[in-house]
Amino acid sequence: MMSRVPASTGMTLLLGLALTGCATRVPTPSQAPAPTPVVMALAPVPTPAPSPQADPVVELIAISTLHFEAGERELQFGHLTAAKTAFNRALEVLLDSPFGGRTEPRMREHFDRLVERISAHEVTALAEGDGFAEQHPETAGIDEILAITTFEVPSATVETTQAVAADLETMVHDIDIPLNAKVLSFVELFTGRLKSFLEEGLSRSLQYLPAIQRIFRAEGLPLDLAYVPLVESAFKPTALSRSRAKGIWQFMRGTALENGLKHDWYVDERAEPEKATRAAARYLKSLYETFDGDWHLALASYNGGPGRVQRAMKRSGRSDFWKLTASSRYLPRETRNYVPLILAAIIIARNPAMYGFEIQPVEPLQFETVTLTTAVDLRRVAEWIGMPIQTLQELNPELRRWTTPVRADEYDLRVPYGTADIVRAQMAESDPTELAPLNWYTVKKGETLLSVAKRLKVSRLDLAEANYLSTRARLQSGQRLIVPRAPTLLLAARPETAPPAIEASPEPTVVAVSSRAPSGVSRRPEPVTYRVKRGDTLSSIARLYRTTVASLKTWNRLRSNSIQVGQRLTILTHRTAAATN
């Protein structure tokens, strides 16, 4: 918007003095000359400059841009429906104007650029918009620590040695912690190079320690072992190591399944701290029994596996961990270092102030539980309660993807305290088929899991796991399969090739989608006219033209999803042209 500068006005004051001739005597009052009149002349007032007329095209573009920017902000919070509404409004402002979307040159340029920018957002949103994009894990602390301990570990200073000795004399531990060079060296490492790492982990641990200690106390386990996650994961629920161990207790998938944790396409309970702690308690107890009540050997086997430790004991003829690890012949460096690392972390964690640690407690999130009987997209719930999706992900770290399990009879979703009633009310008012943006495929006669996977360009394993099937499962004609990828991403065939018959959810969660052009090529939106045929739906037409129902409704001013045979629809497609600068 242009600013107006008002024209300045001024007035010139002119003083005219009529002077009489000089006289040699001073006149008497009666003889004084009449006062000279003061003449005031006003300067001409300039005519105000005409106010510049507002440019309606500029104003429309500005309003459209505001809606687009609002949509971008909603996307950052994971609010796809609100983002879709804002993006559509950014286009509608132009389409509903007297100029239309593309008649005025500046409007056309803005409209085309807007469609491209929205499409760029939607390419990313579609990769996650079907609810099947896996959440990004965090780096496991154990990888960082072991990378450092591969090199020479610093020797303990006199000050560190004296501090630890005094600490062990006064602090009561429920597992044996020897005052030896290895333990002291790792205390030195934690109070030096890894101090910030340990401080962050200790701050984060305060969210989980009460529950861990409660479970360990009930199971009769040493409470000192509650600090094992400090080294394993720095208490990050979604931590994933290079060896694919996950969660605060860093379970491998097989070990997790053996100890009662669930792992499928939708849920990984290794990332749920309380469930994983119960599994860790069971596993630690079994290791303790395997090694006849020796916690040092049990901890070594927690890292390296009980079989490896038992073989090392048999080969060496040694049953004491410290004697067993005096030589590098029997156990790998990682396992040899693991036990003194854990013991050093326990020493500091039990008395952090003594070692100069400043702990900033991270308060646990307060939550309520809502029992769901159908799959729900977390982003939809985030919009209902007006919070970022990250809040729901932090409360439900076991959910691998953006959706709750599809075929679970019930799922207990944690929501922020005070929002459970809002979620229940929204669930009651919503169509269950629209709560999760799922894509379905109906199996045809003679098709196999492999042939369907190839047809839909997904892996057979992904297709099987998303449908709770084994990779060798036989399919039946008419069987409906969940497709673990968004429809637009599946349309990789040439335009003249008919796309696979995928049944999308009634209302996709994103707006106008365009395919990405090759390098050096741009996609220019062009309107085409399509005549509705018998059996067509907005969803099928949207899939055919690689767009969405929302966009079709916007471009054609449709108030519902209903269309008639013979009806003409305007569809904005993208013509490939060489990019010009």
Output the CATH code of domain 138-355. 1.10.530.10
How does pLDDT run across 89-129, given as a tens digit for each residue?
Answer: 888 888 877 777 667 888 888 887 887 777 666 555 544 44
From the list 359, 373, 381, 434, the residue with the least C-alpha distance to 405 is 373
pLDDT at position 133 is 58
Q: Give the SS3 label for residue 341.
A: helix
* Residues of the chain with confidence (pLDDT) below 50: 1-32, 36, 38-42, 126-130, 486-499, 504-525, 574-581
Tokens of 377: 């997209």
From the list 255, 260, 196, 207, the residue with the least C-alpha distance to 229 is 207
Q: What is the rounded CA–CA span in Å between residue 483 and residue 464?
A: 10
Q: Is the pTM of this model over 0.85?
A: no
Residue 4 amino acid letter? R
Residue 377 · residue 129 · CB < 8 Å:
no
Q: Give the SS3 label for residue 82.
A: helix
| C-alpha 95, offset from chain centre | 33
Active-site residue flag, 232: yes
Non-local CB neighbours of 324 within 8 Å, separated by 6+ positions = 312, 313, 316, 318, 330, 331
**Cβ neighbours of 297 (radius 10 Å):** 24
Q: What is the rounded CA–CA span in Å between residue 507 and residue 485?
A: 16
Q: Exactly one of 74, 104, 199, 232 is catalytic; which is it? A: 232
pLDDT at position 67 is 87
What is the number of residues in the chain?
Answer: 581
HSE-up of 70 (CA within 13 Å, CB side)? 16
Please return the burial class of 145, using the count of CB atoms within 10 Å of its CB with bins 0-12, 13-18 and 19+. buried
Q: What is the rounded CA–CA span in Å between residue 166 and residue 150?
A: 29
Tokens of 230: 């400090």
Residue 509 amino acid letter? T
pLDDT at position 569 is 86
Q: Give the SS3 label for residue 532.
A: coil
How does pLDDT run across 471-481, given as a tens digit for each residue?
Answer: 889 999 999 89
Residue 486 · residue 436 · CB < 8 Å:
no
| C-alpha 369, offset from chain centre | 21
Q: What is the rounded CA–CA span in Å between residue 200 and residue 205?
A: 9
pLDDT at position 566 is 84
Distance set, CA 46 to CA 41, 49, 61, 219, 319 (Å): 15, 9, 35, 93, 105
pLDDT at position 559 is 72
Listed by start position, the domains of the chain span: 56-129, 138-355, 367-431
Q: Dihedrals φ, ψ of 310, to 5°?
A: -65, -40
Tokens 């994009």 sit on residue: 133
pLDDT at position 202 is 95
pLDDT at position 20 is 32
Residue 230 · residue 357 · CB < 8 Å:
no
pLDDT at position 44 is 58
pLDDT at position 26 is 40
From the list 226, 224, 198, 225, the residue with the least C-alpha distance to 210 is 226
Q: What is the rounded CA–CA span in Å between residue 545 and residue 484?
A: 21
